[in-house]
């Protein structure tokens, strides 16, 4: 007979405790323990397990089984290193409204269009809702099967009936196993249901795509073991108020994680963007103070992004950052004040990376500083100028990786001048590269007339 007991389970690592505590003793996370009623079933005690695996010489293992199969969505295949591997499980996380369901429904339809049967399991929406979205996306394919179900045994039974090559579970947090005896979305349900899908993927040699919810700070909801048990973790980013969407691989057992997929949300669904730099700069206004273009690197892909800054007089000294790290912005403001003589103590400062892009790399430091100096002086930089480089606390400029690729992308889009650190490598053609050693020199070279840390004007 089944028994019910109460435990306190950590939402970060899944560890249990007989009583509540402010901190998990296993992972150290604070305020992560939640009460949970668990039904212990006799089936979990004893019984026959799966047959033992057989050890083989590694040279006899069939390597062809790990070859990816293209999804026919170029940007998704770029991030996955060629496509989905049969028997693999991929977890896709992102903010609500980013387009996760749209992307995976399009991937399932593309698979069906190529003759590979796909099953889309909708655990959050009804069949008519998904069918309506598929019609808008042009994804009505005979080999695309639809199941509106939340109960795990019923989903597994559908796998026996349909025998798909690709399965989409939307979403893993809403699938429930009645035999576990805990609430849907709990740590136990999410962990055990995900583990069951991993087993089914391996046994049936089908690719499984799981949709995962995210918390308010942008991390995947559920136990940390959820990310460990799957083969690939994808992050789908994008502001719902902007059309641009970015797809990154956080973890990928079958390839590298440095690629970036770029999509545009349109009325007909997600469309891959072949020239993201041109799209991001399409609405740029030249000659406006506070605007500087930076050739950033996202993975292995160069992106030209406009950084805008606005400085207004205010005794409050507020700081606002969109698309850039607020902590790094505070550091750059301090360096500008101490090393370049541009104070911001009595000003409100606003900095934004245009287009909904998030820039976390240090190569954007120099462009951010030039944008702030331009906004402070009211003088615009040349519209054909780009800048990239890391700014140190001493006001020195340090080179960043893949500078030639950055500048080649800038030259392709018509930029003629670039300010880079003095130690940046050579070998860039088609653009006039100007090397400087300090932030004050870069500001002077951009024509923004700074003063140095001694209060003296820096000669151009």
d(CA 432, CA 83): 39
CB atoms within 10 A of CB 138: 12
Residue that is last in its domain, among 274, 309, 333: 274
Examine the domain organization and report whether 269 and 293 are in the same domain. Answer: no
Residue that is last in its domain, among 239, 257, 274: 274
Examine the domain organization and report whether 328 and 209 are in the same domain. Answer: no
**The pLDDT value given to residue 30:** 81
Examine the domain organization and report whether 292 and 410 are in the same domain. Answer: yes
**The pLDDT value given to residue 241:** 74
pTM here is: 0.79
Examine the domain organization and report whether 263 and 284 are in the same domain. Answer: no
d(CA 423, CA 335): 20
**The pLDDT value given to residue 39:** 60
Q: Does residue 61 fall inside a structural domain? A: no
Examine the domain organization and report whether 270 and 293 are in the same domain. Answer: no
DSSP line for 160-211: HHH--SEEEEE-GGG-B-GGG-S-TTSHHHHHHHHHHHHHHHHHHT-EEEEE
Q: Does residue 333 fall inside a structural domain? A: yes
Q: Does residue 260 fall inside a structural domain? A: yes
Examine the domain organization and report whether 120 and 12 are in the same domain. Answer: no
Examine the domain organization and report whether 167 and 85 are in the same domain. Answer: yes
Q: Does residue 19 fall inside a structural domain? A: yes
Q: What is the mean pLDDT of each run of 10 residues along the chain (460 residues)?
A: 69 75 81 70 50 84 81 94 94 89 95 96 93 94 96 96 96 90 81 93 96 73 77 88 87 89 90 91 92 91 95 91 94 95 92 90 96 95 96 96 93 95 87 95 86 43
Examine the domain organization and report whether 136 and 92 are in the same domain. Answer: yes
CA distances (Å), origin 286, targets 107, 294, 413: 39, 14, 14
Q: What's the token pair of residue 38?
A: 């668990």
DSSP line for 222-269: S-THHHHHSSEEEEEE--TTSSEEEEEEEEETTS-S--EEEEEEETTE
Q: Does residue 59 fall inside a structural domain? A: no
Q: Whats the size of the chain, residue-wise? A: 460
- CATH code of the domain in which 421 resides: 3.30.230.10
Examine the domain organization and report whether 251 and 297 are in the same domain. Answer: no
How many structural domains comprise the chain?
3
Contacts of 278 (CB under 8 A, 6+ apart): 413
Examine the domain organization and report whether 26 and 165 are in the same domain. Answer: no
Q: Does residue 377 fall inside a structural domain? A: yes
Q: Does residue 49 fall inside a structural domain? A: no
Cis amide prior to 259 (ω within 30 degrees): no
- CATH code of the domain in which 116 resides: 3.40.50.300
Examine the domain organization and report whether 263 and 348 are in the same domain. Answer: no
* E strands, 280-318, in order: 291-298, 301-313
d(CA 380, CA 405): 26
Q: Where are the alpha helices (DSSP H) in 292-364?
A: 326-339
Q: Does residue 52 fall inside a structural domain? A: no
**The pLDDT value given to residue 94:** 87
Residue that is last in its domain, among 250, 274, 298: 274
- Boundaries of domain holding 191: 67-274
Examine the domain organization and report whether 160 and 256 are in the same domain. Answer: yes
């Amino acid at each position: 007979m089944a028994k019910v007991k109460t435990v306190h389970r950590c939402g970060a690592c899944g560890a249990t405790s007989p009583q509540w505590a402010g901190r998990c003793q296993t992972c150290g996370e604070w305020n992560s323990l939640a009460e949970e009623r668990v039904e212990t079933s006799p089936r979990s005690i004893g019984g026959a397990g799966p047959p033992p695996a057989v050890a083989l010489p590694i040279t006899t293992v069939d390597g062809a089984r790990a070859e990816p199969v293209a999804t026919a969505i170029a940007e998704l295949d770029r991030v996955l290193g060629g496509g989905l591997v049969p028997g693999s499980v991929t977890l896709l996380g992102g903010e609500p409204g980013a387009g996760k369901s749209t992307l995976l429904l399009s991937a399932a339809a593309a698979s069906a269009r190529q003759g590979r049967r796909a099953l889309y399991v909708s655990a959050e929406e009804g069949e008519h809702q998904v069918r309506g979205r598929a019609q808008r996306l042009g994804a009505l394919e005979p080999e695309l099967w639809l199941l509106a179900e939340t109960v795990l045994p019923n989903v597994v039974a559908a796998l026996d009936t349909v025998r798909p090559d690709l399965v989409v579970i939307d979403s893993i947090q809403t699938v429930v196993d009645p035999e576990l005896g805990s609430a849907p979305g709990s740590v136990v349900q999410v962990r055990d249901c995900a583990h069951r899908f991993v087993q089914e993927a391996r046994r049936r040699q089908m690719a499984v795509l799981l949709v995962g919810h995210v918390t308010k700070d942008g991390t995947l909801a559920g136990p940390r073991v959820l990310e460990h048990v799957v083969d690939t973790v994808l992050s789908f980013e994008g502001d719902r108020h902007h059309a641009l969407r970015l797809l990154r691989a956080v973890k990928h057992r079958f390839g590298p994680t440095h690629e970036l997929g770029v999509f545009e949300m349109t009325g007909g669904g997600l469309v891959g963007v072949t020239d993201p730099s041109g799209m991001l700069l399409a609405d740029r206004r030249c000659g406006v103070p506070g605007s500087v273009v930076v050739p950033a690197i996202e993975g292995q892909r160069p992106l030209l992004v406009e950084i805008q800054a606005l400085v207004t007089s205010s005794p409050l000294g507020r700081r606002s950052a969109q698309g850039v790290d607020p902590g790094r912005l505070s550091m750059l403001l301090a360096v500008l004040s101490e090393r370049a003589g541009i104070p911001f103590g009595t000003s409100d400062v606003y900095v934004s990376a245009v287009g909904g892009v998030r820039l976390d790399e240090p190569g954007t430091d120099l462009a951010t500083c030039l944008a702030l100096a331009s906004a402070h002086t009211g003088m615009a930089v040349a519209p054909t100028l780009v800048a990239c480089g890391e700014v140190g606390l001493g006001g020195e400029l340090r080179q960043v990786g893949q500078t030639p690729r950055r500048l080649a992308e800038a030259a392709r889009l018509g930029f003629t001048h670039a300010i880079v650190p003095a130690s940046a490598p050579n070998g860039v053609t088609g653009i006039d590269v100007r090397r400087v050693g300090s932030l004050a020199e870069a500001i002077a070279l951009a024509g923004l007339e700074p003063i140095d840390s001694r209060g003296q004007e820096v000669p151009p």
